Chain A
């Protein structure tokens, strides 16, 4: 058990190292002068020199990379080229709304797509099944920002149930928080709901054909117990996997959702950073989200090993 954990954790190291190298080279190997790319066409020689110095562009590539990684391990992700503040501090100030939005979307996804997927598999080929499958094709095809505007138009502009845009932190009261986060939460969850309910259905269909499901039915257990206690538990691994790999998709969705609903989170920060060509900030955000992705998937993998001993011995 301990050796499996250790092996799995060690596997994450080269992946993270590659991500860091990739992001590093992305800036360095871009044709032309990276300082010029960051500063734009109207930069003065002094500005260019300042950028070169702050990024260490005058050093050899390998030592630049090692210095950069070393600083990050010590918690120094660099300073913003625009505000001159540490990028970690800037990200810290903006992460709250993003975490809130992502958590709400995740909760909505679980609450909606698990029952939908289970029902679709239970009544395979029936009306609910076809509804769920059509919904998931729609969820994959209609972009989040389109769904966002449809929701705004119906529930904010016409029905006036929710405000059009904006964000209030949870600290200002649960009511005010929920009032503003429901619509963006739904918009962000849409593609995730499509993905997870489809996966739940597929995984349940597979499990429902197993002998132990037939046994459970044969001994007279109710459908509800068979579905949720026997089948869903065994169908959980592919579902959890897709939740983990879907995290990258979720972050992409966050960027768009925050723009549509004017939420001051990481997604807005990254767009602001791009428009200002604030590369240290962009680098840090990409690295941290990729790190979060690796961490989440690591935790999911480890949780399989805890629940399913077969995986440990593979």
Chain B
């Protein structure tokens, strides 16, 4: 852009302006959580499942940084390993709900008849409280990583469908879509080349919120005892086991709670920052 063309709009880039300090903090925390998950076996001083009945419910010490739980397992190691399940479930749910919701939303935005039927179905799915639906799925199948991902993905799909659909409907009234239609562009090409790009930015933003929501729901399921199972440490089931000894050592609950909350908070903050940069229209979201 030069002084002779004052009307030219500057291209908005992701890092045009320095990020807000909360965004920087969020990224730092997320990198730490990812490192915890990836390098868990190097970071954790103990096996997270190693029982040691002689060391039950010990307070924090130089050996056991955060103390031990009711089975004598090292709390710090368990919290570190807990990051693995949370991040895996978050990633799986985000990927699955976008892969299913995106094509449905594109079709619903384009084909009126399909839209009417599909949106009633999505209304129906949104009426079922997410945790109840997830609980029902877990109850029917064997508890495991895939089951939990499926269970949490189902209630997230309508959100993606509605978002994509609304963006497609908005884009349809744009001149470039009219132009493409007048040129006789076939529907498949119109959808994939002209309408789909309009949904990318909002999907990235929504994806971060889904990631955060999935981690939260997984933790809630584990906490309720209907999650992945107790043999794998997750932040939710560490809290569920710790709550029985809350009166003796509340930190059995609070340490996983703090890491869990910080992780979700960071993802949400990152989502807000991405939204402000990529998609200012979405300000004031209501997830």
Contacts and interface: CB of A to CB of B under 8 A. Distances in A.
A308 to B, nearest CB: 20
Nearest to B140: A30
B126 A245 contact: yes
A294 B239 CA distance: 34
Given A23-B136, A199-B286, A252 B131 contact: yes
A155 to B, nearest CB: 13
Interface stretch (B40-48, B49-57, B173-181, B247-255): B247-255
Given A15-B127, A137-B272, A149 B257 contact: yes
A252 B138 CA distance: 15
Contacts of A144: 220
A273 B97 CA distance: 28
B124 interface: yes
B226 interface: yes
A200 B150 CA distance: 34
- Say what secondary structure dominates the interface of chain B: helix
Given A19-B124, A141-B212, A274-B226, A37 B141 contact: yes
A16, A205, A252 pick with most chain B CB within 10 angstroms: A252
Contacts of A19: 124-125, 127-128
A195, A242, A249, A274 pick with most chain B CB within 10 angstroms: A274
A72 interface: no
Interface stretch (A46-54, A167-175, A215-223, A275-283): A275-283
B139 A279 contact: yes
Contact of A282 (B135, B261, B287): B135
Question: How many residues of A sit at the interface, in one of the four size bands?
Answer: 35 or more
A271 B226 contact: yes
A141 B261 contact: yes
B132 interface: yes
Nearest to A266: B132
B129 A248 contact: yes
Nearest to B250: A153
Interface in B126-160: 126-133, 135-141
Given A37-B141, A143-B260, A286 B246 contact: no
B30 interface: no
A289 B128 contact: yes
Contact of A146 (B125, B140, B261, B287): B261
Interface residues of B, number: 47
Contacts of B193: none
A286 B136 contact: yes
A16, A137, A138 pick with most chain B CB within 10 angstroms: A137
Contacts of B247: 157
Interface string B233-275: 0000001000100110010011001001100110011001000
A289 B130 CA distance: 11
- Say what secondary structure dominates the interface of chain A: helix
Given A22-B124, A143-B260, A252 B139 contact: no
A143 B272 CA distance: 18
Interface string A205-219: 100000000000000
Contacts of B136: 23, 26, 274, 282-283, 286
A293 interface: yes
Given A143-B260, A286-B128, A256 B224 contact: yes
A46 to B, nearest CB: 22
Given A202-B284, A286-B128, A149 B246 contact: yes
A277 B138 CA distance: 10
B124 to A, nearest CB: 4
B135 A248 contact: no
Q: Would you list the 4 A-B pairs with minimal beta carbon distance, nearest first?
A: A202-B284, A18-B124, A252-B131, A141-B265
Interface of A: 11, 14-16, 18-19, 22-23, 26-27, 30-32, 34, 37, 137-138, 140-146, 149-150, 152-153, 157, 195, 198-199, 201-202, 205, 242, 245, 248-252, 255-256, 259-260, 270-271, 273-275, 277, 279, 282-283, 285-286, 289-291, 293-294, 297
12 contacts: A16-B124, A18-B125, A19-B124, A26-B140, A142-B265, A149-B257, A252-B132, A255-B135, A259-B223, A274-B135, A274-B136, A279-B140
Given A140-B268, A271-B135, 12 more contacts: A23-B136, A34-B140, A37-B140, A140-B212, A149-B250, A150-B257, A195-B286, A248-B126, A249-B129, A252-B220, A255-B224, A274-B136
